[in-house]
Each structure stands twice: as C-alpha cells, then as structure tokens.
Amino acid sequence: MGNKELEKIPPQNIEAEQALLGCLLIDEEAIYKVADILAPDDFYKEIHEVIYQTILDLFGKQEPIDTLSVANRLEENKKLDFVGGRSYLIHLSNAVPNSSNVKNYAQIVQKKATLRKLIQASTKTIEDAYEEDQDAVNILDKAEQRIFAISKKFLQQKFIPIKETLAEAFERIDALQKGKEKIRGVPTGFINLDEKLAGLQPSDFILLASRPSVGKSSLALDFARYAAVEKKIPVGIFSLEMSRDQVVDRLICAEAGINLWQLRTGHISSKDNRTFKNLNKSLSKLSEAPIFIDDSPTANIIEIRTKARRLQAEHNVGLLIIDYLQLMESPNVRDNRVQEVSEISRAMKSIARELKIPVLALSQLSRATEVRVPAIPKLADLRESGCLTGDTLITNINTGRQLTMKDLAKRKKQTPIPIISLDKNYKLRSDTITKVFPSGKKIIFELATKSGRKIKASANHPFFKLEGWTRLDHLKNGDFIALPRNITIKKPKNPLNKKELILLAHLLGDGCIVSNQPYHYTSADKKNLQIVKKTAKDLFGINGRMVKQKNWYHLYLPSPYRLTRGKYHPITNWFTRLNIRPCHSWEKVIPEAIFQSSENYIALFLKHLWSTDGNISWKKMPNRKPLGNIYYASSSKILAEQVQHLLLRLDIQSTIKLPPLKKAGYHQMYHVHIQSSTEQLKFLSRVGIYGEKNKIITLLTRTLKKVSPNPNNDIIPKEAWQIIIKPAKEKLGLSWREVSKILNTAYCGTKLYKSGLSRERMLRLYNNGLKNIAITNLANSDILWDQVISIKKIGSEETYDATVKSRHNFIANDIIVHNSLEQDADVVLFIYRKIMDRGIKVCPEEEKNVAEIYIAKHRHGPAGVMVPLYFDEEKASFRNLTRQEEPF
C-alpha cells in the first residue's frame, strides 16, 4: 500500500454529524428514531462521539435531552471544555430548523462509519498477510469474520414494537392450540420426538451420537428429508464420511421406500412398475427439495463456517447437518485431540448462534459403552478425555486435604475445589475444579512410573508428554510423562500442635494400635522412648511404663484414669478425633490432619516418623564417592505413598521401591528412597532424623556437599532435541556442530540427540546464544519428567472425571492429567438398538427393528426421556412407532 493511500482522509461527513446532533438537541423525541441505528463510535469527530454518548446516557436514565441538560452532564463529567463549551452546543442546535430529517442524517453517518470500518478491517487483513506468520486459512477466516461482523451491524434488524411482537405471539399460540402448527423449530417428522423437542430450535447445537452402524446417518438424513421435502426448509449437509452419491442414494431409498442394496447394485426389476413409479416420484420430489450437499472428505471448522455463511446468504439455509464430528479438524489445536474436539464443538455452537439456525452434528461413540449391559449410551461416553477411578486422590491447594474423586463426586453441592494446573509455559498455576462427576463403568488400566507413582485410568485418558497430551493407550514403556516438582499449600491450618505431631509420628511408626491390645511403643533408641514418654505425659497425663526386652524396650501407655462404660482411653479419644482406627502395621495410614499442616510441621512429623522405621546410613560403592542411603520402610503401601506425597510438599523427590520378600508369607515392604545427592541434602537440611540415628547427619551432609550432582537424575526427555532445540537452532541458522560447541561437548553426530539432557545443559544452551523462550521455559519448568515402566489392564471399574475452569488439567495421584471438557451441545440424542448390543445374547423378535432415541440432554426442555422409532435397515430409514415414550 502506497503512502498516498495511507494519507487519504477516511470517509466522513462532519455536516451530517452536526445536523444529527442538532436534531437531537432541539427534539428530545428524535433519539427514539436513531438509537437503534447509531453507536457512539460511528461518529468521526471525537467530540461528536462524546456528545452523542452523553445524550444516550440521559436517554437511558429518562432525563430531559436539550442543550442545557447535555451541557450540565458534560460539565459534571469534566468534558464540556473538550467538546467546545456551551457555545458549540448552541451552534449545533441552531444548525437545523427542525428534526424531520434526523433519520436521513443518521443513515449518512452510519454509512460513512461502515466504510471506515471496512477500511480498518481490510488494513488489518493486509497487515496479517504481510507478516506471513499465520496460516492463510486462518487469515481468510479472520477477514471474513471482520467483514461479516460489519455487515451484520449495518444490516441489523430494527427494534420491533412489542405490540407487533405480541400480535405475532398470539397468532403463534393460537395456531399451536388449534393444531395448525405443532412445533416452533425445524420439525424432524417424528411425532413423539417433535413433541419432546418442539423441533430443532434455532441457535441450538444438537448432537446425535451412537456406536457405528446403529443408524445415526440415516436418522439425520430423515430429519433433512422431512424438513426440505415436506416443509421446504433449506438444509445444508456436510458429509465427511459418505460421498455425495451415497447420500443421494440414501435419500432416494428413504423417500421411495425401496431397498438400498438393490438400488446400489442395480437389482431393481424392470417389471416392478410400482417400484419404478415410486422411484420417479421420489426423484421428482427430491429435485424440488432445497438440500445442499458438500462431500469434502477433509474439512476444518473454518471451512465449514465459511461455507455455512455463504449457504445462508445465498439460500437462507434453515438446518445444518455435519456427519460426523470426529472427522473434523481444528487448524488451531493439533497436539491435543481432547481440546480439538472441544474447540470444534464450541465452533458448531458459535455457527448455530451466528446464523440463528439449528446445527446437528453426528458423533461416533467409543467402545466404552460396550462395557455396560445393556450398552445404553450416557453423556460421559461423549467425553474424549477419558476417566479415572474413584480412589484417585486430588489435593486441595488451599488446605492440603487429599480427597478421592468418588467422594468429591458424591457431594450434593459441587462447590469449587482450588487446585494447581500446568500452563503452556510449563509452570504450575492456581486453578479450580468446578465439578467432579461419575462417568460410568469402563475398562481400566494401571500406569506405573519409575518413581513408584501409580494411577488407574481408562485407555483414552491423556497424560502430558513433551510432544503434548497423549492418550494412555498411546503410551509405552520408556515414555516420559509430567509430574509436579512440588505442591505448595496456600492456607495450612496446622490442626495438631508440635507435641501431637511427635507422638503421632512415633505411634504410626513403632506403636502398637491393634484392637484389644494395650497401647505401647517399641524401640531400642532411648531418645525416642523418652520423647514418646514425655509427650504422652504432657498431652494426656499418661505415666509411661518401660519394660526391657532383649535389646529393646516396650513403653506401655496406660490410661491415667479408670476405664468404665462410655469412658475411653485418652489416646482412643484422640485417634477417634483424627479418624485413626485400630489396625495392623500394614494397614496404617497417615491421618488427614497431617496433610493440612504447614511445611515446617510436616518436616517435624517426618523427622520423628523417620526415627522409627527410617534409615540414614552410608552407601559405599567401589571406585565411587560415598553417598547416603536414606529411605523409609513400611509394610503399608498407602502409608509409603503418603510419605512420598509429604516429601513432595517439601520439594523433595523420592522413589518407592519394593525389596524382595524375606520369606514366604511375609507382607511386602515398601521403601521410600531419597537417592540423588541434591535431594538427600534437601532432606537432611529440611527434615533430618530424631534420636541416635541423628549422629550421622553432620558428616554425611559435609560429604554430600562435595559430590557433583548426577544430572541423569533429573533429565528432560530426548524429544526436546527435535521438538524444541532443532526449530530454535534452525531459526538462528546454527548447525548441530555449533550447538555442540555451545554445550562445550565434542560433536558426535546423531548421537547428540539420542539421549535426554539435564535442565542445566538446557539452560546453558539459552545463556550461550540459543535464545528461545521455549528453551528457557523447559529449563526452568515446574515439571519432573518421570518414566513409564508398566501399563497393565486390570478390568472394569466405576470411573469419574472433573471439569477444570482454565487450563483443563489437574494433579491426580501426584501426576499431571487432563480433565474432561463440558459438552457444548444444547441437545444430546443417543440411538440405541438392542439388536446391535453385543452384551445381549438374544434379542426378542419384536425388538429387532426398534431404535430407542434417548434425549440425554435438553437445555430448554425435558431430558431423561426415551422415544422409540422403527428402523427399516433395508431402506436405511426410520419411521414413527406407536409405542409411548419412556423415561430412563
């Protein structure tokens, strides 16, 4: 664009603006004629925009509109001098003799404003095109949106007096009562279904879903055929699955009532006059029907939106059908199918609202429905994100409480749960779970990682890899998935005091809390025995009694008062308050109160817990510097996992290992190991250990500080070379040899990027020349990459999912997982046919042609209703069935 074109004065008419404002100042009734035409930003001169906005403000508050009132309001807003003072307002009121031409002036102003907006939209499109950093399809779509928005405003409908609207409403109600018009939306042709839906409503996004080969395409085409043939409503069909010829064949067969297979194979007898007569009749009717078919096999939401707009502009389309949703693509989201389907659904809803027509999209359900018998679809089957089992733990980041998804779903009121989620820069941010809900019974797999984390999920549940969100059934052993490096609690309550923390830690570690046994504590460490005896005395007045064994002691903790009916041991009362039940060592769990504690209190608890069944010793290996051997041992799997979570709260990484069983019949032990020198130093400084074992800490700490950290304990997956580093080095024109030089390593060809790299090396790339935001984000991320070591099928279980407000992911069992996305559809219809249900061995003869249409969701009417239809498989068509609709 040349400089002369840029210097042109935009379209405007100052005289028309002045005359318009003059009319409004001399006739307060004139505003009624232009308020629906003009907006303040339609004025070219800013002072005129301010004056008109002031007039609208007075109008909105039902105050007088004249020169004096407008001047006073401008003065109150300190804008009177800006517009030229009272003298300019008087000049405007004197510019016109009367207000008879006010509407003409308004139309002139509006037209000039429209031209200016067209110039602005075109200029922005030109800028986008010159920048070349966007896909051409995206630029076209944005350009079309800008122009369409301007045209909608320019051609917007006038305000209609309520008198006229009421008259139309009366005629509509009267017609409904007299039976002249049964429904208000686009009719489907199926009596019971139309009664429940009142037709397919304008601006509604309707989802029609089923398993393959159940008849969703046939039903959608029946809707289209009835609307277009019988009601002459123009229908647009986007057929991504079937060709145009296949769609037309189905329409012909359904309309003529002839066999689809015979039509396609040419097996219609020339002697069958009746069939040919019906065929010719149907061809004649369909040729007059306003049905428009697009059979492009690959279409994205931008293309469909563009074609739909054009179709409505040219043919006033009244119903849009997309077959089917999973075959569509989004140009904006490619690495996350969950978010892609969600974006497509939102786009369908947006098209419905923009064009004010019903949009019907078909959706194919997964095999998850087949787990149930009968395999009747549910809303949860539509969600692409998968599900987790009910025992999955979610951490409330305000309180630290850990709650299962099952318990969260059972709440009568779904109050928001504060959580953390991962943002696009690999940082953990505050977020909110708005809802947790059951998703039905599904086949479940258990995923285990190298650090010992485990989670049970459906096959399609996504986990975060460096490449993006990846379904569980697409993961394999050796893949790296994202875990949080730590979890910080915002508002810990510290429900227990320090003495309670100390006593509880020792009793959970080496205490006997089995029912029908006296409370006692066993240890060979005299410091531990003394601290337990003292805290029991201070808290409950218990006088502990020590009994020596071989090389250890039993410390009995008798009640300080006589136990009678209804009067319990003080430790029993304390445990009841903490929800601790009598149990064996392999059944012990850490109570909820600990998780609601601050980091310092958690560290104190772990310090004393470690003094019972924990270990801190030297680990000496040939030809290597000595390291610490730090772990906690427990026969309780849950308690070991809880210890690992509490360490994460302190930003200490650990691994759960299973040592070999000592003897048959013994319970499996679980060791929570702290391995690298970096993590061991953090443990020793933040937690440590109480009692005699404490003596080693000073020397071990001094030794570990001299050990160079092993970068392989905290690596970024090797995929970073191709996904992050390669694009960055190519943008700067660097070779792999030059990248090796930045890393201060010898060039080794393709071996360079066949292994992962440390966070330190990644940061070195950034600091020494490879300036790329993705590199520094990854180097400083809040992610710990953990390796998948096993994925095994464990059968079917009840499952649950959650809706997250912002970033659509959350932390579950200390693993970053994706969440479910809310369904955007206004109406959801499911088709179920008993004859197609693999779980039902024998289908009654009278049920073989019955298709049950379930209204699972209806934003504007009754849901939870089933409407039966008759399905004629030979003709690929449905028809009304006399059986009454049933609730489900």
Stretch 557-570: mean pLDDT, rounded?
92
Q: What is the pLDDT of residues 290-325, one digit of tens each?
A: 888 888 776 667 677 778 887 888 888 999 998 877
Determine the Cα–Cα distance for residues 232 and 109; give it in Å rounded to an integer.
40
Q: Please check whether residue 98 lies inside any domain of the structure.
A: yes
Handedness of CA 789, 795, 800, 805 (dihedral sign): positive
In this structure, of 137-146, 162-171, 426-435, 580-589, the range with the lowest mean pLDDT score is 162-171
Q: What does the pLDDT read at residue 811? A: 96
Rg (CA), the chain: 36
Same domain, 37 and 117: yes
pLDDT tens-place string over residues 455-495: 999 988 889 999 888 889 899 999 999 999 999 999 999 99
Q: Say yes or no: 18 and 146 in one domain.
A: yes
Q: How many CB atoms lie within 10 A of CB 812?
A: 22
Upstream peptide bond of 324 is cis (omega within 30 degrees of 0)? yes
pLDDT band at 502 (very low <50, low <70, confident <90, very high): very high
Q: Based on the domain organization, do 298 and 202 belong to the same domain?
A: yes
**537-541, 623-627, 697-701, 791-795: least confident range:** 623-627
Question: Which among 426, 478, 414 has a CA at the least distance from the CA of 450?
Answer: 478
Indicate whether 874 belongs to any domain.
Answer: no
Q: Please report the pLDDT score of residue 498 as a whole number.
A: 97
DSSP per-residue string spanning 10-41? PS--HHHHHHHHHHHHH-TTTHHHHTTT--GG
266 in any annotated domain: yes
Q: Are 804 and 821 in contact (CB under 8 A)?
A: no
Distance CA 558, CA 561 (A): 9
Residue 163 domain-assigned? Answer: no
Interval 115-126 mean pLDDT:
84
Better pLDDT: 874 or 492: 492
* Other CB atoms within 10 Å distance of the CB of residue 350: 15
Q: Which of 644, 675, 704 is at the close of a domain?
A: 704
835 against 690, higher pLDDT: 690
Last residue of a domain, one of 795, 818, 841: 818
Q: Give the residue numbers spanning the domain of 115.
A: 3-154
- Is beta strand 428-449 parallel, antiparallel or unpaired with respect to 417-422? antiparallel
Report which residue type is found at 395: T
Fill in the amino acid letter for 591.
P
| pLDDT tier, 170 (very low <50, low <70, confident <90, very high otherwise) | low
775, 788: one domain: no
| Residues contacting 664, CB < 8 A, separation 6+ | none
Give the CA-trace dihedral at 620, 622, 624, 626, to 10 degrees. Answer: 10
Q: Report pLDDT digits (tens) over 609-619.
A: 999 999 999 88
Over residues 130-148, the mean pLDDT reads 72
- Same-domain check for residues 579 and 651: no
Question: Is position 394 within any domain?
Answer: yes
Residues 776 and 788 grouped into a single domain? no
Among 154, 188, 221, residue at a domain's last position: 154
Of residues 225 and 63, more confidently modeled:
225
Pair 20, 135 in one domain? yes
Can you tell me the distance from the alpha carbon of 92 to that of 15, in angstroms, rounded to the nearest whole number? 10
% of residues, the chain, pLDDT over 90: 35
Higher pLDDT pick, 558 / 624: 558
In the predicted structure, residue 153 carries a pLDDT above the cut 60: no
Measured distance CA(292)–CA(320) in Å, rounded: 10
Identify whether 846 is part of a domain.
no
* pLDDT score for 422: 92
Separation between Cα atoms, residue 723 and residue 170, nearest integer Å: 64
What is the rounded average pLDDT of the residues 148-172? 53
What is the residue whose two structure tokens read 């987790």?
388
For residues 39 and 108, state if they share a domain: yes
Per-residue pLDDT at 430: 92
pLDDT at 859 over 70: yes
Lowest-confidence segment of 412-416, 604-608, 753-757, 836-840 by average pLDDT: 836-840
The whole-number pLDDT of residue 885 equals 44
Least confidently predicted of 56-60, 225-229, 531-535, 680-684: 56-60
Name, of 112-116, 143-147, 418-422, 661-665, the range with top average pLDDT: 418-422
- Comparing C-alpha atoms, which of 22, 815, 847, 842 is closest to residue 393? 815
CB-CB contact of 556 with 520 (8 Å): yes
Which range, 515-524, 625-634, 655-664, 711-720, has the best average confidence (pLDDT)?
A: 515-524
More confident position, 649 or 460 = 649
Indicate whether 439 belongs to any domain: yes
Flag whether pLDDT at 645 surpasses 90: yes
Q: Are 812 and 819 contacting, i.e. CB atoms less than 8 angstroms apart?
A: no
Query: Percentage of residues in the chain with pLDDT exceeding 70?
Result: 87
For residues 799-821, give the mean pLDDT: 86
- Which CATH number belongs to the domain containing residue 421 in this structure? 2.170.16.10
Which CATH number goes with the domain that contains 697? 3.10.28.10
The mean predicted confidence, pLDDT, of the chain is: 84
Q: Give the DSSP per-residue string, 712-772.
A: GGSEE-TTHIIIIIHHHHHHTT--HHHHHHHTT----GGGGGSS-EEHHHHHHHHHTT---
| Residue 324, pLDDT score | 74
Q: What is the CATH number of the domain that holds 19?
A: 1.10.860.10
- Kindly indicate the confidence band of residue 286, based on its pLDDT and cuts at 50, 70 and 90: confident
Residue 371 is given by DSSP the state: G
Question: Quick one: which of 664, 612, 650 has its CA closest to 634?
Answer: 612
Residues 419 and 526 in one domain: no
CATH code at position 275: 3.40.50.300
Q: How far apart are CA 556 and CA 28, in angstroms?
A: 93
pTM: 0.65
Long-range contacts of 597-602 (CB under 8 A, 24+ apart): 597/400, 597/492, 597/493, 597/494, 597/495, 597/496, 597/501, 598/489, 598/492, 598/494, 599/489, 599/492, 599/649, 599/650, 601/492, 601/494, 601/496, 601/498, 601/501, 602/646, 602/649, 602/650
Is the confidence at residue 162, as pLDDT, over 70? no
Gap between the terminal Cα atoms of the chain: 64
Report how many domains make up the chain: 6
* pLDDT for res 122: 85
Q: What confidence score (pLDDT) does residue 432 get?
A: 92
Helix (H) or strand (E) holding 90: helix 85-93
**Spatial CB neighbours of 150, under 8 Å, sequence gap ≥ 6:** 114, 117, 118, 121
Mean local confidence (pLDDT), 219-238:
90
Confidence check: pLDDT of 656 > 70: yes
Signed CA dihedral, 581, 583, 589, 593: sign only = positive
Q: Which two structure tokens, joined as six digits, stand for 233?
A: 């409503």
Does the residue 867 lie in any domain?
no
Determine phi and psi for 445, rounding to 5 degrees: -125, 145
Q: Do 48 and 140 have their domain in common?
A: yes
Q: What's the pLDDT score for residue 152?
A: 56
Output the pLDDT for position 160. Answer: 44
Per-state percent for the chain, helix, strand, coil, to nearest 5: 45, 20, 35
Distances, alpha carbon 733 to alpha carbons 98, 563, 727, 747, 769, in Å: 71, 82, 10, 17, 12
Arithmetic mean of pLDDT, 144-169: 56
Element (H, E) at 64: none
The mean pLDDT value for 351-368 works out to 83
pLDDT (mean) for 120-136: 77
Residue with tokens 């300036």: 771
The more confidently predicted of residues 73 and 32 is: 73
Same-domain pairing of 118 and 218: no
Give the C-alpha separation, 76 to 80, whole Å: 8
Residues 433 and 530 in one domain: no
Between these two residues, 647 and 856, which has the higher pLDDT value?
647
Predicted local confidence at residue 2, as pLDDT: 42
Least confident piece of the model among 560-564, 695-699, 840-844, 852-856: 840-844
